[in-house]
Chains A and B, each alone.
Chain A
Amino acid sequence: MAERQSPLEPEFHVGSHGNFEHGVEILLTETRPGSIVQLAAWPGEEKKLIAAIRTVTGLALPDGAGGGSSDGVKSVFGFAPGKFTVADEAEGLAAAFAKAVTPAIGTVTDLSHGRTAIRIAGPKAEWVLAKFFAIDFALPAFPVGAGRSTAHHDVFAQIQRTGADQFDIYVFRSFARSFWKALCHASEEVGYEVQ
Chain B
Amino acid sequence: MSPRRTDTGGRIDRLKTIRFSFDGVAYTGHAGDTLASALLAKGVTLFGRSFKYHRPRGLLTAGVEEPNALVTVLKGEVREPNIPATMVEIHDGLVAISQNRFPSLAWDIHAVNQLGGKILSAGFYYKTFMGPVIGPLKGTRFWMFCEHFIRRAAGLGSAGSAKDPAHYERMNAFCDVLVVGSGPAGLMAAKAAADQGARVMLADLEPRFGGSTNWSNETIDGAPAADWARRTVTQLEGRDNVRLLPRTTVWGYYDNNTLAALERVSDHKEQPAKGEPRHRYWAIRARSVVLATGAFERPLVFPGNDRPGVMLAHAAERYANEFGVLPGERIALFTNNDSAYRAAIALKKAGAAIVAIADVRSELSPEMRKLATEAEAEIFAGHAVVATEGGKALSGVKVQRFDMVTGALTGDERSIHADCLLMSGGWSPTIHLASQAGAKAEWNAARQAFLPPKPAQQWIGAGAFTGSFSTAEAIAEGRAAGLAAAGGTSTPAALPTVEAVHGDPDPAPVFEIRAKGKSFVDFQHDVTAEDVRLAHREGFVSVEHLKRYTTLGMATDQGKSSNVPGLAIMAEALGKPIPEVGTTRFRPPFAPVSIGSLAAERFGDLKPERLTPMHDWHVANGATMYSAGLWYRPMIYGLSGETIEQAYVREAKATRESAGIVDVSTLGKIAVQGPDAAAFLDRVYTNMFSTLAVGKARYGLMLREDGFAFDDGTTWRLGEQDFLMTTTTANAGKVMQHLEYFLDVIWPDLKVHVTSVTDEWAGAAIGGPKARQILAACVTGTAVDNATLPFMGIVHGQIAGVPVMICRLSFSGEMAFEVYSGAGHGIHVWEALIEAGKPFGLVAYGLEALGTMRIEKGHVTGAEIDGRTTARDLHLDWMLSKKKPFIGSAMMDREGLIASDRLELVGLIALDNRPLNGGAHIVEALDETNPHGSIGHITACCYSPALGKHIALALVQAGKARHGTRAHVSDPLRNRFGPVEIVSNHFYDPEGTRMHG
Contacts and interface: CB of A to CB of B under 8 A. Distances in A.
A binds B: yes
Interface of A: 1-2, 4-7, 9-10, 18-19, 38, 40, 42, 103, 106-107, 109-115, 130-131, 133-136, 138, 141, 152-155, 172-175, 177-179, 181-182, 185-190
Given A40-B753, A107-B753, A111-B760, A154 B172 contact: no
B608 A175 contact: yes
Contact of A141 (B172, B174, B802): B174
Contacts of A138: 174, 199
Given A5-B613, A7-B613, A136-B174, A113 B755 contact: no
Interface string B491-518: 0000000000000000000000000000
Given A4-B825, A19-B274, A181-B605, A133 B172 contact: yes
B572 interface: no
9 contacts: A4-B824, A9-B616, A18-B274, A113-B822, A114-B761, A115-B759, A155-B608, A174-B631, A178-B611
Contacts of B609: 175, 178
B630 interface: yes
B172 A112 contact: no
Interface string B267-286: 00000011111000001010
A114 B199 contact: no
Interface of B: 169-174, 199, 273-277, 283, 285, 601-602, 605-613, 616, 630-631, 665, 671, 673-675, 721, 751, 753, 755-762, 800-802, 822-828
A134 to B, nearest CB: 4
Contact of A172 (B283, B602, B759, B826): B759
A103 B172 contact: no
B170 A131 contact: yes
B276 A189 contact: yes
Nearest to B665: A174
B173 A5 contact: no
Contacts of B275: 18-19, 185, 187-190
Given A42-B751, A134-B283, A182-B601, A111 B606 contact: no
Nearest to B752: A107
Nearest to B283: A134
B990 to A, nearest CB: 36
Given A111-B757, A182-B608, 17 more contacts: A2-B802, A2-B828, A5-B825, A7-B823, A42-B751, A109-B753, A133-B172, A141-B174, A172-B759, A173-B823, A174-B612, A175-B630, A178-B609, A178-B611, A182-B606, A185-B275, A189-B276
Contacts of A40: 753, 755
A174 B174 contact: no
Contacts of B602: 153
Q: Which 9 A-B pairs give the minimum distances between C-beta atoms?
A: A188-B275, A4-B824, A114-B760, A189-B275, A113-B822, A136-B174, A19-B274, A174-B610, A114-B759
Contact of A109 (B671, B801, B827): B671
For the complex, would chain A's binding face be called helix, strand, loop or mixed by DSSP majority?
mixed
A138 B243 CA distance: 13
A128 B804 CA distance: 39
Contacts of B675: 103
Given A5-B825, A115-B759, A130-B171, A177 B611 contact: yes
A2 B800 contact: yes
A134 B600 CA distance: 14
A134 B608 contact: no
A130 B606 CA distance: 17
Contact of B173 (A19, A130, A179, A190): A130
Contacts of B608: 152-155, 175, 178-179, 182
Contacts of B610: 172, 174-175, 178
Contacts of A133: 172
A187 B753 CA distance: 37
B972 to A, nearest CB: 38
Given A114-B758, A131-B169, A154-B630, A185 B601 contact: yes
B455 to A, nearest CB: 23
A113 B611 contact: no
A185 B759 CA distance: 24
Instruction: Tell which of B671, B759, B825 has the most Cβ of chain A within 10 Å.
Output: B759
Contact of B172 (A107, A134, A153): A134
Instruction: Tell which of A2, A40, A103, A179 has the most Cβ of chain B within 10 Å.
Output: A2
A103 B721 CA distance: 8
Contact of A189 (B273, B758, B823): B273
A5 B824 contact: yes
Contact of B673 (A19, A107, A135): A107
Contacts of B825: 1-2, 4-5, 113
A161 B183 CA distance: 38
Contacts of A107: 673-674, 753
A159 to B, nearest CB: 13
A140 to B, nearest CB: 9
A2 B762 CA distance: 15
Contacts of B285: 134, 136
Contacts of B823: 7, 113-114, 173
B907 to A, nearest CB: 35
Contacts of A103: 674-675, 721
A135 B631 CA distance: 27
A97 to B, nearest CB: 13
Instruction: Tell which of A134, A174, A181, A189 has the most Cβ of chain B within 10 Å.
Output: A174
Instruction: Tell which of A134, A175, A189, A190 has the most Cβ of chain B within 10 Å.
Output: A189
Contacts of B276: 19, 189
Contact of A113 (B171, B283, B606, B824): B824
Contact of A7 (B605, B611, B721): B611
Contacts of B761: 113-114
A174 B828 contact: no
B849 to A, nearest CB: 23
A114 B956 CA distance: 42
Nearest to A133: B172
Nearest to B671: A109
A189 B280 CA distance: 13
A181 B801 CA distance: 32
Contact of B755 (A9, A38, A177): A38
Nearest to B755: A109
A109 B752 CA distance: 13
A10 B283 contact: no
A19 B613 CA distance: 32
Given A107-B674, A173-B759, A5 B274 contact: no
Contacts of B274: 18-19, 188-189
B165 to A, nearest CB: 14
A178 to B, nearest CB: 5
Instruction: Tell which of A1, A9, A111, A114 has the most Cβ of chain B within 10 Å.
Output: A114
A189 B277 contact: yes
A81 to B, nearest CB: 11
Contacts of A131: 169-172
A177 B632 CA distance: 13
Nearest to B174: A136
A151 to B, nearest CB: 10
A122 B828 CA distance: 35
B822 A109 contact: no
A5 B826 contact: yes
Contacts of A173: 613, 759-760, 823-824
Nearest to B266: A189
Nearest to B751: A42
A107 B677 CA distance: 11
Nearest to A114: B760
Contacts of A153: 602, 608
Contacts of B170: 131
B172 A181 contact: no
